[in-house]
Chain A
Amino acid sequence: MKYLCLIYDNEQNWDRLPKAEVDAVMAGYHKFSEDLVTSGKMISGEALEPVHTATTVRVRDGKTITTDGPFAETKEQLGGYYLVEAVDLNDAIQIAARIPSAAMGCVEVRPIMSFDTP
């Protein structure tokens, strides 16, 4: 079963972090990703550029409207994701808990909708 782990973190905290700590977190991510690949549970994962680069798009009456920024201003921002293959929610929670940002921000775990079975 597939789960999407959405990583939310406070970008400002991230900016304030000393370089040595940023390096340590990045090393943690590197290790986590490697372990995930080795365990065969990694489907994909990416980090996102900060929210100030985001553009929100809506189409109304056939017209495309774009606004600067994310769809909602929140204290913690979506900063990346992992799409993983897990046995069940417990397995997915264990994976999510090992994502380094879980210790600073939070990780939302969402099952991927399956259209195979009625």
Chain B
Amino acid sequence: MTSGSERPLRAQIDAIYRDEARRVLATLIRLLGDFDAAEEAMHVAFSRAIDRWPATGIPDNPRAWLVSAARFAHIDQARRTQRFDASAHRVRESLYPTHGETPDQSPDVHDAVIDADIPNDDSNIVQELVDDQLRLIFTCCHPALAESAQVALTLREVCRLTTEDIARAFLVAPQTIAQRIVRAKSKIRTARIPYQIPSLADVPARLDAVLHVVYLVFNEGYLARTGHSLTRADLCVEAIRLCRLLRDLIAEPEVDGLLALVLLHESRRSTRVTPDGDLILLEEQDRARWDRALISEGIALVRRALSTGRVGRYAVQAAISAVHAEATQPSDTDWQEIVGLYDVLCRLDDSPVVRLNRAVALAMRDTPDVGLRAIDALLEAGVLTSYHLAHAARADLLRRLGHYANARAAYRLALSLTEQPSEQRFLEQRIADLPARDQPVT
């Protein structure tokens, strides 16, 4: 047992809850085969710890103690309600394979039983816990679940955000999130989505879904598509935490790439809006305030990901972000390099938005005219016509060319297509700043 330290025991237990609850829960979901039963058992285990540890001291391996206590709590619960359904039976069998019969500890399990249950081999426990976290992530991000459900379930079960927090962050009613989570859990149970790490052959495809969830969580926090809320920053923090966890668990260049991407964006998050929540463009941001530590970590990760030769779209997007991060002032930006990276990205992920970004980079490398022709070609193809940023980018190039009347029309069109208040204010300001008359052709 650990000897008493300076900190009060209750504070130590709270710290253990903060650090270990996610891992304990992941393991319990595997052992009990049910999300809700695992949640309940974990809470019983923690309240038992609060009761017992003042007398016994904190055990050497509190995590294993909690898992064990929770398993017994689950058995107790099953016995008390006399609902020895198939799953409880399975758990009992796995707990007492040789005894056959459960020792009678009702209603409370003795500490000795819990202690005896804790495995001695620590390395196995560590590997098991790693695997349990991965199992949980892959189950929450199973492609058979709707994307919105994957996001909600991951934030709830892996990140342990409350339903209310998730609802606030996504600006939807808590009941909506609760319903998504309940439905997803029900599908996992009823359709039998397995609680397992995918086989090696399936990992790349399944990892894609997991990385996409992390990407969506970060984006939602970073871009704040609608409204303005402080909890948005929490989403960025959670996405980074999730991504770091994934990187500890899976050695894949795209995990490095995505972590680099989110870190490099995070490095300038505080400079992209004014204290009033107004948008500040990349070229107008105070680069001295960019977080250098995050940038160096991000750049090191990009290099590592690119050096593997298995280049994915997250790594390339991160590389583009790194080129911006390396420029101490906007005029130092290596647009040649950025256009080249967008060419690579187009080959990996040929989406209209990527092509739009490439067109903007082209305008910077060559002339606004070149970029404008590229954007017009995209709009003529019809895919981006309702995307406000396409019209905003077009307006900006028209403004730089001195075609103010056309620029005004394009800004207005962009304005009509966005609901985000800070973007609306930004576009209104751009319109107000436009000179009344077009620049004469010289």
Are A and B genuine complex partners? yes
Max chain A Cβ within 10 angstroms of own Cβ: one of B85, B192, B193: B192
CB of B60 to closest CB in A, whole Å: 37
A42 interface residue (CB < 8 Å to B) = no
Whether a CB of chain B sits under 8 angstroms from the CB of A111 is yes
Determine the chain B residues whose CB is within 8 A of the CB of A90 once the complex forms: 193-194, 196, 198
Cross-chain contact A111 with B194 (CB below 8 angstroms): no
Chain B interface size band reads 10 to 19
Q: Are B192 and A117 in contact (CB under 8 A)?
A: no
Q: For the complex, give the distance between the alpha carbons of A118 and B86 in Å.
A: 9
Q: How far is B144's CA from A109's CA once the two chains are assembled, in angstroms?
A: 10
In the complex, the answer to whether B190 meets A118 with C-beta atoms within 8 Å is: no
The answer to whether the Cβ of A68 comes within 8 Å of any Cβ in the partner chain is: no
* A88 near B192: Cβ-Cβ < 8 Å: yes
In the complex, the answer to whether A118 meets B193 with C-beta atoms within 8 Å is no
Interface residues of B: mostly helix, strand, loop or mixed? loop
B85 touches A117 (CB 8 A): yes
Q: Are B193 and A117 in contact (CB under 8 A)?
A: no
Contact A118 to B192, CB < 8 A, known contacts A89-B144, A93-B144 = no
A89 in contact with B194 (CB, 8 Å):
yes
Q: Which of B85, B86, B144, B191 has the most CB of A within 10 A?
A: B191
Verify B190–A111 contact, CB threshold 8 A.
yes
What does the 1/0 interface line of A74-118 toward B look like (CB < 8 Å)? 000000000000011110010000000000000001010000011
Query: B83 an interface residue at 8 Å Cβ cutoff?
Result: yes
Residue interface bits B77-91, CB-to-A below 8 A is 1, else 0? 000000101100000
Closest beta carbon of chain A to B198's beta carbon, Å: 8
Does A88 contact B193, Cβ atoms closer than 8 Å?
yes
Q: State whether B86 touches A117 (Cβ < 8 A).
A: yes
Query: How far is B83's CA from A89's CA once the two chains are assembled, in angstroms?
Result: 26
What is the bound-complex CA distance between A3 and B126, given in angstroms?
A: 36
Once the chains are docked, how many angstroms separate the CA of A84 from the CA of B192?
A: 14
The 8 Å CB contact of A111, one of B85, B142, B191, B196, is B191
Asked if A1 is at the interface (CB within 8 A of a chain B CB), the reply is: yes
User: Considering the chains assembled together, what is the distance between the CA atoms of A118 and B78 in angstroms?
Assistant: 14
Residue of A1, A90, A118 most packed against chain B (CB within 10 A): A90
Contact A111 B192 (CB under 8 A): yes
Instruction: Let me know if B85 and A89 touch, CB within 8 A.
Output: no
Nearest-neighbour CB distance to chain B for A86, whole angstroms, equals 8
A45-94, CB < 8 A from B: 87-90, 93
Contact between chains at B86 and A89 (CB < 8 Å)? no
Give Cα A88 to B142, complex, Å: 13
Task: Provide the residues of chain A in CB contact with B144, threshold 8 Å.
Answer: 89, 93
Cβ–Cβ contact B191 & A118, under 8 A: no
Question: What is the CA–CA distance of A117 and B189 in the complex, to the nearest angstrom?
Answer: 13
| CB contact list, B191-225 vs A, under 8 A | 191-194, 196, 198
Evaluate contact between A88 and B194: CB separation under 8 angstroms.
yes
Q: How far is the CA of A1 from the CA of B86 in the complex (A)?
A: 14
Of all chain B residues, which has the CB nearest A91?
B194
- Chain A residues in 8 Å Cβ range of B142: 89
* Cβ contacts under 8 Å, A109 to chain B: 191
- Do A118 and B85 contact each other (CB < 8 Å), given the known contacts A89-B144, A93-B144? yes
The CA of A89 and the CA of B369, in the complex, are separated in Å by: 53
Chain A residues near B194 (CB-CB < 8 A): 87-90
Cα(A117)–Cα(B85), bound, Å: 7
A41 to B193, CA, bound (A): 18
Least CB distance, A69 to chain B, in whole angstroms: 30
Extra contacts, 4 of them, besides A87-B194, A89-B142, A93-B144 (Cβ < 8 A), are A88-B194, A89-B191, A90-B193, A117-B85
Ranked nearest first, the 4 interchain pairs of A and B with the lowest CB-CB distance are: A88-B194, A88-B192, A111-B191, A89-B193
19 A–B contacts, CB within 8 A, in A order: A1-B192, A87-B194, A88-B192, A88-B193, A88-B194, A89-B142, A89-B144, A89-B191, A89-B192, A89-B193, A89-B194, A90-B193, A90-B196, A90-B198, A109-B191, A111-B190, A111-B192, A117-B85, A118-B85
